[in-house]
Chains A and B, each alone.
Chain A
Amino acid sequence: MKVFTRWFGFRFAPDSIPAHLRRDPLAVVSSLIIMIMILSAIFAPLLTSRAAEGLGEPNPSEKLAPPSAAHIFGADHLGRDLYARVLFGGRTALGMGFLIVFGAVLIGAPLGAIAGYFGGWLDEVIMRVTDVALAFPPLLLAIAIASALGPNLTNAAIAIALTWWPWYTRIVRAQALALRERPFIEAAHVIGVGNFTIIARHILPNVLSPVIVQATLDLGSAILTAAALSFLGLGVQPPTPDWGQMVSTGRIYFPQRWWYVTFPGTAIFIATMAFNLLGDSVQDANK
């Protein structure tokens, strides 16, 4: 799921981006959608009168109610308002997406910095390990790890992060290689600053900004992959609201009760699309 942003977005000059982006309507629209998503996740309890249902409290009398004024997205199999579920599901989706890229950066970035800074055999070893890790069939490995750790939110995030880190190792290594030759690093070296202090103080902070931009754009793929795991029943477990899990449960009631899969499914699509569109625009801006 990750190839796409990878192939189009790894050269960055973040400073030049915003000016160009303002001229790209798609970038504006996608940024707007992402902002709305983040805000509605944060303020979810204020945006519905059925926050308890959003978090999982059943309301059996409304079971599978079709969309109406009371339930604009209809209700699920335990009568919970789907609008509230989808709204709170946004928290889960963004939270998981964040956990995944954060975890992957946490593993990948230091390795890349070490490889790039020291070079030599250490670089060779780390990069071969990275090559090997990249050659793992990603979804399958995530499935295996998730089922090994037991199905829940954190474990699913860890499982996916464990298959993602090598991408960040590659980016950071490339940046670190370039930084190594820069005068201020050499200066630090000359005055006797230790290697790891240099990595922590000078290399990582300097490579981090492109990594953070990249990680943000990867959130879309992260959300999509997490949804796939949940769909297979290996991700977030009810009553915690989650889009992939809702589509999976809603499948049983499909197609007569189309609303159950439609709204969470659309949410996954819009969230992923918004991040991917932004990623595409950023990459365009870099040309």
Chain B
Amino acid sequence: MKPKPFSALNILLALTIALTACGKTAAPATQQAVTEAPTAVPAQPAVLTIAYANTFPDIDPSTSFSNDGAVTANIYETLTRYNAPGSKDVLSPQLATSWKASPDGLVWTFHLRDGVKFHDGVPFNSAAVKFSIERTKTLNGGAAWIWGSVNNIETPDDYTVIFRLDYAAPLDLIASSGFAAWMISPSVKDKDGAWFNAGHDAGTGPYMIESYAPGARIILTKFDKYWGGWKAGQFDKVVLEVVEDITVRQQKIESGEADWTLQLPTENLASIGKKPDVKVLINPAFETMVGLFNNKKPPLDNQKVREALSYTFPYDTFIQTSMSGYATQAHGTIPAGMYGSDPSLFQYGLDPDKAKSLLAEAGYPDGGFELTMTYATGDSVEQQAGELWKAELAKLGITLNLQPMAWEAQWDLAKGDPVNAQDIFVMYWWPTYTTPYDFLFNMFHTEETPLFNLGYYFNANFDKLIDDANTLSGSDKAKAETMFQNAAKILVEDAASLFIFDQSSIHIIRSDLKGYVDNPAYSHVVFAYELSR
């Protein structure tokens, strides 16, 4: 296993196992001699087939907040776009061409792209922006809360939008969100979620819905009048297929029936990557797994015990065994490769002796207590983490009870009285829009009634540090980054949580697919417009 598949320069490493395994024999992008499905007739349009593991529960662009983002991202567009790691700028223009914030961060002005039309022919303008965001805010579903700071939207002319905020917020980042930030045609003002989920759309994006068979597939067809124009070689049709069975997904990508897929068994990736027709892409994902310690309930209210437990988790074994090495141990809560992450931050390792002496200091020389860990039912990675940890803890006389629960049930338990709550809450965290504040605030900022701070970590100094950093991040990104890093360090020193691993984003694509760039800001989204064969 490579200790860190991503360099400090933040360069996107789309490395194929084939390349690392057999040197220069691969270079597959230039080889077009891939056997295609026998049905390909010259007159037929170019089709891109994407095999997803889950259904698309909600394709209403205002409320979509799940893997349905994979659909909406090809149909709708946002004002700004978060660039893949390694790009020059963090953001690039999409439906907005330029934007700027007032010095206090309370007024944001966006200038819009001219000549853009929605699929239904309605022109895109400032009124459409106002309509889209207000529709999203009114429906108040999904990730609508990202617009919480927006007090008022003004439209001085057709191509200028002014946002007035109640409190400073990085609106340029928010506008790039993969959820709740899509621009929607004002012609749908009477339409509800059911209309969208019946297979209708109202976007400006390069593709439109041709047909929708819920639970099976969505077929997109290109929008001829797309403002970006069309070049030869781009795909005419996109099939987003739902293939829940892991075995069948693997077979589809190997046989060429699918061009892109995800979530194959990590154990198989090495052998899949050796096939010349297929590439395995491994990138950082802005997603981390934590085990939130219950900071309010004995014995985990004792920092020594939390530290001791941090020394009992078999990080390396777990990553090797359950992730086949395709993950890295977390450096605190901010995922590697993201703005605000710190590769030099201290990591706890498996050290039973140290754990034992810490436990002795805390008054538990022979363990002798029981802990309950809850995790989401059916999540095999979380379950394996629990099974491996349980074995390590048993050696120190600590019993770990593993309790799978439906996510809402697990969450409900944690939101109640901390004394009756679980001792360890295992979950993943990813940002709604890409900022370290999302991690630090949601999981660790003091809350009167806990919402996501489910380890009940209360530290006023920490709160102030991240709040200040967040306000500062609009004007001084470098200084704010140091402050975010310091905040992350406090959490590690306090052993506020078990910081387990940073997820890798693993996608398997056909070698003849050109132009694919993985963008962790829009996880598991394939922007079909950028691709060709």
A–B contact at 8 Å CB threshold (below): yes
Could you mark each residue 49-75 of chain A with 1 if its beta carbon is under 8 Å from any beta carbon of chain B, else 0? 000000011101001100000000000
Is chain A's binding surface mostly helix, strand, loop or mixed? loop
Residue B442 is within 8 A (CB to CB) of chain A in the complex: no
Shortest Cβ distance from residue A228 to the other chain B in the assembled complex, whole angstroms: 15
Judge if A79 is at the interface, Cβ distance under 8 Å.
Answer: yes
Taking CB as reference atom, which chain B residue is nearest A150? B405
| Choice from A60, A151, A255 contacting B404 with Cβ under 8 Å | A151
B268 adjacent to A239 (CB under 8 Å):
no
A233 to B267, CA, bound (A): 22
Given A64-B267, A151-B404, A239-B390, 6 other A-B contacts at CB below 8 A? A77-B322, A77-B384, A78-B387, A150-B405, A249-B380, A251-B247
CB distance A238 to B267 under 8 Å? no
The yes or no answer to A12 lying at the interface (CB within 8 A) is no
Residues of B within 8 A of A31 (CB): none
Contact A253 B267 (CB under 8 A): yes
Do B388 and A78 touch (CB < 8 A)?
A: yes
Closest B-chain residue to A63, C-beta based?
A: B321
CB-defined A-B contacts under 8 Å, sample of 8: A58-B321, A58-B387, A64-B267, A77-B321, A77-B322, A79-B321, A233-B378, A253-B265
* Chain B: minimal CB distance from A248 (Å): 9
Contacts of A48 in B (CB 8 A): none
Q: Taking the complex as formed, is B383 at the interface, i.e. its CB lies under 8 A from any CB of chain A? A: yes
Knowing A237-B404, A252-B265, A255-B247, the reply to whether A58 touches B388 (Cβ < 8 A) is yes
**How many residues of chain A get a CB closer than 8 Å to chain B's CBs?**
24
A78, B384: Cβ atoms under 8 Å?
Answer: yes
A63 to B405, CA, bound (A): 27
Closest 5 CB pairs of A and B: A60-B321, A233-B378, A60-B317, A239-B387, A252-B265
Chain A contact residues, CB within 8 Å of chain B: 56-58, 60, 63-64, 77-79, 147, 150-151, 233, 237-239, 249, 251-257
A88 to chain B, nearest CB (A): 15
Which of these, B246, B391, B402, B405, contacts A252 with CB under 8 Å? B246
- A57 CA / B400 CA spacing, docked (Å): 13
Is B194 among interface residues, defined by CB-CB distance under 8 A? no
Residues of B within 8 A of A239 (CB): 387, 390, 402
A119–B380 CA distance with the chains assembled, in angstroms: 53
Query: Given A79-B321, A253-B267, are A57 and B405 neighbors across the interface (CB < 8 Å)?
Result: no
**Residues of the B chain whose Cβ atoms lie less than 8 Å from the Cβ of A238:** 383, 387, 402
Compute how far the CA of A11 lies from the CA of B418 in the bound complex, rounded to whole angstroms.
57
Scan residues 390-430 of chain B and give those whose CB is less than 8 A from a CB of chain A: 390-391, 402, 404-406
Q: Look across to chain B and name the residue whose beta carbon is closest to the beta carbon of A249.
A: B380
| Distance of A267 Cα from B268 Cα, bound (Å) | 26
Distance in angstroms from A75 CB to nearest chain B CB is 11
Q: Chain A residues near B265 (CB, 8 Å)? A: 252-253
Q: Does B102 contact A (CB under 8 A)?
A: no
